[in-house]
């Protein structure tokens, strides 16, 4: 029997409803600043969707487009002013930045209290120390999906394929914190298939279409596909979906799996940041 489909769209809708109810209880609408530098059309679409998500749950968004040739100093000053703006509870600096700017260095200028993407070294350090602050949205979304699908993590063999700061590393920390036994694979892993076959929970975040095939998955495993790859056949994940579903116990589709959760978790983080800042001002 094919594995159960984990419907990211439905879970994200539930999360958004929860966020909207929380926002309604706050004295002030939380504020998210979005910063889009450059003219990457995909980035422009992502930012527009994130602002629409905000509007849907009652989060105010403040949009800034400093232009693709913005000097480093000017972008740093913009981030500095947003750090000081009491109406702004979260700051989203859309990556990638144009080539003359260092995305990692610029992200690090964001006040950790407003780091709703969880990408500053400070947020990464908290997570690595086991005291998570604002957690990157995609790994947080994966954890929410696993919880929603009732996947047991305590003592489970979890295998993460990919070790980026954005997805793989924070996800491995979160799985470890949930008491899974974590194997972390990457492009230099000698025998990816052997590692993956160990997994009760397999998360693919490599950006390589069809990387995970059915022979790499053990019967009944939960398979979460973070990969988002644009191909001639449209948007596909890292997992050979149809074949893997035949052996998996549960599986996320692409699109409609992790993607909608990433967007929803940004809203969760913005409200969490707003609450923490409100409490700090009391
Ligand atoms: P990245 O390029 O920064 O990292 C990819 C990681 O995968 C690297 O650590 C690399 O070592 C590993 N890798 C690459 N090829 C491999 C192979 N053949 N075998 C084993 N490991 C391999 O990418 P990223 O930013 O972490 O994103 C990964 C994928 O997830 C991409 O497809 C990206 O588009 C997608 N993504 C999706 C969402 C979402 O919301 N759905 C969010 C972020 C990223």
Residue 1 pLDDT class (50, 70, 90 cuts): confident
Q: How many residues does the chain have?
A: 282
What are 158's two structure tokens? 């979890």
Q: How far, in Å, CA of 212 to CA of 15, rounded?
A: 29
Which class is domain 137-258?
Answer: alpha beta
Q: Where are the domains of the chain?
A: 28-111, 137-258
Residue 134 has pLDDT above 90, yes or no: yes
What are 39's two structure tokens? 């003219």
Contact 12, 261 (CB under 8 A): yes
Instruction: For residue 95, give Cα distances in angstroms to 35, 37, 44, 71, 174.
Output: 9, 8, 10, 16, 23
Q: By percentage, how much of the chain surpasses pLDDT 70?
A: 100
Phi, psi of 217 (to 5 degrees): -120, 130
Instruction: For residue 29, give Cα distances in angstroms to 32, 113, 279.
Output: 10, 17, 15
Residue 35 has pLDDT above 90, yes or no: yes
pLDDT (0 to 100) of residue 282: 79
Residue 281 pLDDT class (50, 70, 90 cuts): confident
Residue 69 has pLDDT above 90, yes or no: yes
Residue in 135, 172, 226 to alter for ligand 1 test, most ligand atoms within 8 A of Cβ: 226
Contact 161, 278 (CB under 8 A): no
pTM of full prediction above 0.75: yes
Catalytic residue among 94, 114, 225, 238: 94
Question: Is 117 known to be catalytic?
Answer: yes
Look-up of token digits 């920390």: 173
Give the residue whose CA is nearest to atom 34 of ligand 1. Answer: 228
206 CA closest ligand 1 atom index: 7
Question: E strands within the chain?
Answer: 4-5, 31-35, 60-64, 90-93, 157-161, 181-185, 201-204, 222-225, 229-231, 234-236, 250-251
Measured N-to-C along each axis, helices 8-25 and 137-148 cross at an angle, to the nearest 10 degrees, of 110
Q: By percentage, how much of the chain surpasses pLDDT 90?
A: 97
Residue 139 has pLDDT above 90, yes or no: yes
Q: Mean pLDDT across the chain, nearest whole number?
A: 97
Task: Give mean pLDDT, residues 246-254.
Answer: 98
What's the pLDDT tens digit per position in 95-125? 999 999 999 999 999 999 999 999 999 999 9
Give the residue whose CA is nearest to atom 8 of ligand 1. Answer: 162
> Residue 270 class from Cβ within 10 Å (0-12 exposed, 13-18 middle, 19+ buried)?
buried
Topology at the third CATH level for domain 28-111: Rossmann fold (3.40.50)
Task: Give mean pLDDT, residues 251-269.
Answer: 98
For ligand 1, the distance from its centroid to the CA atom of residue 185, given in whole angstroms, is: 11
What's the pLDDT tens digit per position in 163-222? 999 999 999 999 999 999 999 999 999 999 999 999 999 999 999 999 999 999 999 999
What are 258's two structure tokens? 């992790």
Question: Is 50 known to be catalytic?
Answer: yes
What's the pLDDT tens digit per position in 78-96? 999 999 999 999 999 999 9
Residue 60 pLDDT class (50, 70, 90 cuts): very high
Question: Is 40 known to be catalytic?
Answer: no
Tell me if residue 212 falls in helix, strand or coil.
Answer: strand
Residue 16 pLDDT class (50, 70, 90 cuts): very high
Q: Do domains 28-111 and 137-258 have the same CATH topology?
A: yes
207 CA closest ligand 1 atom index: 32
């Amino acid at each position: 029997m094919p594995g159960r489909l984990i419907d990211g769209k439905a879970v994200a809708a539930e999360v958004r409803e929860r966020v909207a109810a929380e926002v309604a209880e706050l004295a002030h609408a939380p504020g998210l600043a979005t910063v889009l530098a450059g003219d990457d059309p995909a980035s422009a679409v992502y930012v527009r969707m994130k602002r629409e998500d905000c509007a849907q749950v009652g989060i105010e968004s403040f949009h800034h487009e400093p232009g693709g040739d913005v000097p480093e100093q000017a972008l740093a000053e913009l981030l500095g002013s947003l750090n000081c703006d009491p109406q702004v509870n979260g700051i989203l600096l859309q990556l990638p930045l144009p080539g003359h700017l260092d995305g990692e260095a610029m992200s690090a200028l964001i006040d950790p209290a407003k780091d709703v993407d969880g990408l500053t070294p400070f947020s990464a350090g908290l997570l690595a120390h086991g005291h998570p602050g604002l957690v990157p949205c995609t790994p947080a979304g994966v954890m929410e999906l696993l919880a929603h699908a009732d996947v047991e993590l305590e003592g489970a063999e979890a295998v993460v394929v990919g070790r980026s700061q954005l997805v793989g590393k924070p996800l491995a920390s979160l799985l470890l914190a949930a008491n899974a036994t974590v194997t972390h694979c990457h492009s230099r892993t000698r025998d990816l298939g052997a590692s993956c076959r160990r997994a009760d929970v397999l998360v693919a975040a490599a950006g390589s279409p069809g990387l995970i095939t059915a022979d790499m998955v053990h019967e009944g495993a939960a398979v979460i596909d973070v990969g988002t790859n644009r191909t001639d056949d449209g948007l596909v994940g890292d997992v050979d979906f149809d074949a893997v579903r035949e052996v998996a116990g549960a599986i996320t589709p692409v699109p409609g799996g992790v993607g909608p959760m990433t967007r929803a978790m940004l809203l969760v983080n913005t409200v969490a940041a707003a609450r923490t800042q409100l409490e700090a001002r009391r």
